[in-house]
Structure 1
Amino acid sequence: MINKDNETLFFMLADDHTLIRQGMMFVLDATGIDYKAFHASNFEQIRDCINTHFINIAIIDAHFPEGTSLQIISEIKEKKPDIKILIFSGIDENVHALKYLNAGANGFLSKLSEEEEIKHAILTIIHKGEYISPLTRALLMNSLNNRNLVNPLQSLTERELEIARMYAAGYGNLEIANMLDVKQNTISTIKKRIFKKLKIENIVELIELVKNHS
């Protein structure tokens, strides 16, 4: 349990869309809790908020213009491990929830959720320190039999993983091809295969996956 004796709770609402943050405040008002909310619309503001203010719960979008929030989750947990993080996002929970939980989030909630479900998620985080939706709970159960759901890098072959790590280290197609003594178009083909297996679209996401799962 986060708060005792109805003490004021401090939230950080982090989303690059003002309307989403305002909407979350309406939901917080509806819960009847005593709270104060700080707003952040990008990674720099998130870091400033965490360093400047005491925060109980951070409600964070999964995607920002700077990239996914996987890295910022890890930073928050490293600096302030007691902060509870709820990912509130429009991305597919079935595909992405586990990697955010594995990065340190305490819950994952879809922006498609009804208001009552959002209120339930917030109150559950307050009282239990985590929120696991029925869908994510099923994913966690399935992950016991399929480790790729927890660590997507395990879906890669040894060579694909080697190349993924080289990309994450900052090497480009030509450099990797020269280092491995193969053709550049071979590396490009493997890169596409890596992206498809990991369900990612760019190098930034690959770097975050390698960092969080290696």
Structure 2
Amino acid sequence: MIRILLADDHTILRDGIRALLLADADLEVVGEAGNGAEVLSLLETTPADVVLMDVQMPVLDGFATVPEVRRRFPEVRVLVLTMLDHENYVTRMFEAGAAGYVLKNAAISEITFAIRTVAAGSPFLCTEIGLSMLSKAVSHAPGTPPVTTDGVATADLTARELEVLKLIAEGLTNGEISDKLFTSKRTIETHRQNIIAKTQAKNTAALIKLAVSRGLIT
């Protein structure tokens, strides 16, 4: 039996994951936490094999929590479950001590496979990110700097990120964008962080320049 501690600040997401994991007889959710501080507190009294953890959490986020889990509970493996798909986040979490990284849009079969993989002591990287990183490694020669426009790196953005970028350039707030795209404000914040990480833009003005350069706005 693999004992799992769920860590995400969205209760509805924890409930959904718990319900999906119930289908596997060898997986057991032994606790839930809404932030990293709660994870560390629970691990003091609740034995667990794997912590299935989001990166973005209040009080103590994933970047700060993972090193503490590794230091204080070295037998516990941390599997990151997040919407953040840029390689910068992947690299930072593995450097912090995470055993695996999987996206929230992955199939439940891939998530459960990831849980079993890290519980067995092996690292795991979800298929989508692995293929994306491989594609970039093949298409770009080592040491080649990213092409830039007006000083902003033009790393590839997803269609959804381009849509959010356009709305940011139009002056909409995260809340207004979430209403317009029928999604949560937290999701828009995540898209904004991904856009900033990919473009290396330092502020909204730089993002607007990028939108203009790509013909998204005039």
* Short-chain TM bin: 0.5 to 0.7
Q: Does 1:29 align with 2:35?
A: no
- 2:189 corresponds in structure 1 to none
| Structure 2 unaligned blocks of 5 or more | 144-195, 203-218
Identical-pair percentage = 22
Letter in 1 for 2:114: A
| Structure 1 unaligned blocks of 5 or more | 1-7, 147-194, 202-214
Give the superposition deviation at 1:123.
2.5
Distance change >3 Å, CA 67–CA 55, structure 1 → 2: closer
Q: Counterparts in 2 of 1:12-161, with a 5 A limit?
A: 12-66=5-59, 68-137=61-130, 139=133, 142=137
Higher relative contact order (CA 8 A, sep 6+): 1
Letter in 1 for 2:4: F
Asked if structure 2 preserves the Cα contact closer than 8 Å seen for 1:84 and 1:129, the reply is no
Q: Which structure dedicates a bigger proportion of its chain to helix? A: 1
Letter in 2 for 1:30: A
- Following the alignment from structure 2 to structure 1, what is the Cα–Cα distance between the partners of residues 89 and 48? 25
Instruction: Give the 3-state SS of the residue equivalent to 2:125 in structure 1.
Output: coil
What is the TM-score when the length of structure 1 is the normalising length?
0.58
- Following the alignment from structure 2 to structure 1, what is the Cα–Cα distance between the partners of residues 15 and 105? 16
Letter in 2 for 1:26: A
Within the candidate set 11, 21, 24, 2:4 is matched to: 11
Give the superposition deviation at 1:69.
1.3
CA offsets per residue over residues 95-152 of structure 1, 9 Å max, x none? 411110111000011111122222222232233433222344464895xx57xxxxxx
Distance change >3 Å, CA 80–CA 86, structure 1 → 2: same
Asked if structure 2 preserves the Cα contact closer than 8 Å seen for 1:55 and 1:83, the reply is yes
Letter in 1 for 2:122: G
Instruction: Give the 3-state SS of the residue equivalent to 1:12 in structure 2.
Output: strand
- 2:172 corresponds in structure 1 to none
- Following the alignment from structure 2 to structure 1, what is the Cα–Cα distance between the partners of residues 32 and 200? 30
What is the TM-score when the length of structure 2 is the normalising length?
0.57
- Following the alignment from structure 1 to structure 2, what is the Cα–Cα distance between the partners of residues 119 and 69? 20
Distance change >3 Å, CA 197–CA 20, structure 1 → 2: closer
Give the superposition deviation at 1:23.
1.5
